[in-house]
Structure 1
Amino acid sequence: MKESRLSFVSYEISDFISTLTIDHPPLNVLTDELLNELDSAIDAVLGYDACRVLIIRAKGEKAFVAGADINQFSTLDEVSGKNLVEKGKMIFDKLAGAPFPVICAINGLALGGGLELALACDIRIAEQKAKMGFPETGLGVLPGYGGTQRLPRLISVGKAKELIFSGVIISAEEAYENGLVEKVVSNGESLKESLVLAEKIAGKAPIAVSKAKATIDRGFAVSLAEGQEIETRSFVDLCQTEDLKEGVNAFGEKRRAVFIGK
């Protein structure tokens, strides 16, 4: 097992599952320093070839991530505003583009940049007490770390507009009903549930899971016909792997497959 701790972010790599933890009490606000540490931690996990699943979590009783550092907004101009959002986009895009699934354990408030961080993950598991929303229009701005683009791709366009225009904060249950999160669990259980799911995913053929993620993400941005072509190419690529042979043999022998990622 490998562990590393910075001032506000830490990560742990254990077997095939990595966990990245944000710890900036009391609200885990995304300051510039925290973003820098988040970027470094993501790079470290991406550099670990054996990783099959990453879990993003945060410490604290009240918030997952309550948003960006609002104190910096009053001094923003055209140049600094562009630099601010492009930095956040770069980090979140890097996370979204990870070759393995990323699960977000939402244990409390996920507002603004915090919700955008969750949206950059593949799967979101929220605790009952969690609340989510984009309050940016009440500050005179809009979600700038990808929120206006990822939210309507995940839920209905109309609902995305309602949430972003109004800045309303919704419950975990309403988020689930609208497809914003995949599961709602009891308070204090988001990490445990994320680990259960991560272990299920980590037990599957890693190249197949990685190809499935890439195929879904790439296919979503093109026509159905083009998506079908992407799917076919991915399937053909997998036909050449040792993991395919292992999976078929294990099925026939009624045993658990042991995938090596080749």
Structure 2
Amino acid sequence: MSATSFENLLIDRADPGVAIVKINRPRALNALNSATLKDLRTALTELAGDKTARVVVLTGEGDKAFIAGADIAEMKDLSPGAGVSFSAVGHEVAKLLETMPKPTIAAVNGFALGGGTEMAVACDFIIASEKAVFGQPEVGLGIIPGFGGTFRLSRAIGLPAAKELIYSGRKVKADEAKAMGLCNHVLPAEGFLAAVIENHAKPIALQSASAVAKAKALIVEFTESHGLNTKIDAEAHAFGRLMTSHDQREGMGAFTEKRKPQFEGLKA
């Protein structure tokens, strides 16, 4: 991997061949702004071509959040066109996690809300800390999931459960997430990342990298019945169309002002 430095990421290594990508915005609960998404896109692209990296672990800095969602401070003033572009970069990152020729593990160490859940389900599997919290709260902001939640979440936990979480914005803690099939394992918060690396990433890194890559490519191909790019395009444009709507302005304004939103009804 090149020696690229990142404003909002920390990249670390663990033998044999484990790369750890840590989102480093703890004061913002590791929320995803445009700069962080672009950093992730660059880092994951480099790791995809790095033969010394056999497994990639994605996690968040600090003990509160994996990714608390997209950065509302940036999103609230986006135009529809800018909304499509913002969603598109997030989709590029999620697609890299899903399709890069090496396993990706989401080590969810705290809040994984909105874009956090979406990035987690784009990974090959999820290991959750006992402190982890998942959810898709976008409808409460007057928008929809914009990084793949409308199609990847249902694949992970089934259509009825995904609809409930997306339509209601309900949050689920780690044990419920495991019962739903959203995460593979729940581990103690103490020593969490070290346990993920030692017990889950390293055993995969010791396998045949070429065989694992081929297995992953086939799994992705066989589970995408309608084409990944078609789904990405549809979601990104729907996300963009909701920018500057009354409910988007009201939802994000209410969030920043710490009050309940007053949404409009459906227009005839």
TM-score class, shorter: 0.7 to 0.9
Secondary structure of the structure 2 residue equivalent to 1:67: coil
Is the counterpart of residue 10 in structure 1 residue 10 in structure 2?
yes
**1:106 touches 1:190 (CA, 8 Å); kept in 2?**
no
Secondary structure of the structure 2 residue equivalent to 1:75: coil
Query: Aligned equivalents of 1:69 and 1:2: distance in 2?
Result: 28
How far 1:178 sits from its partner (Å)?
Answer: 0.3
Match of 1:247 in 2: none
Secondary structure of the structure 2 residue equivalent to 1:110: strand
Match of 2:213 in 1: 210
How far 1:3 sits from its partner (Å)?
Answer: 6.8
Is the counterpart of residue 105 in structure 1 residue 101 in structure 2?
no
**2:60 touches 2:66 (CA, 8 Å); kept in 1?**
yes
Secondary structure of the structure 1 residue equivalent to 2:26: coil
Is the counterpart of residue 28 in structure 1 residue 30 in structure 2?
yes
Per mean C-alpha deviation after superposition, the further-off stretch among 163-172 and 39-48 is: 39-48
1:66-108 alpha-carbon deviations (Å, 9 max, x no partner): 0101123332232111111111101211221110100111100
Match of 1:240 in 2: none
Query: Aligned equivalents of 2:219 and 2:135: distance in 1?
Result: 26
Letter in 1 for 2:216: K
CA RMSD between the two structures:
1.8
Match of 2:94 in 1: 92
Say which one has the larger Rg: 1
Query: Aligned equivalents of 1:4 and 1:189: distance in 2?
Result: 28
How far 1:222 sits from its partner (Å)?
Answer: 4.4
Secondary structure of the structure 1 residue equivalent to 2:76: helix
Structure ranking higher on relative contact order (CA contacts 8 Å, 6+ apart): 2
Gaps spanning 5+ residues in structure 2: where? 227-268
**2:63 touches 2:110 (CA, 8 Å); kept in 1?**
yes
Match of 2:68 in 1: 66
Q: Aligned ranges for residues 125-204 of structure 1 at < 5 Å?
A: 125-195=127-197, 196-204=199-207
**2:54 touches 2:103 (CA, 8 Å); kept in 1?**
yes
Query: Aligned equivalents of 2:225 and 2:138: distance in 1?
Result: 30
Letter in 1 for 2:6: L
Match of 1:48 in 2: 50
Secondary structure of the structure 2 residue equivalent to 1:37: helix
Gaps spanning 5+ residues in structure 1: where? 224-262
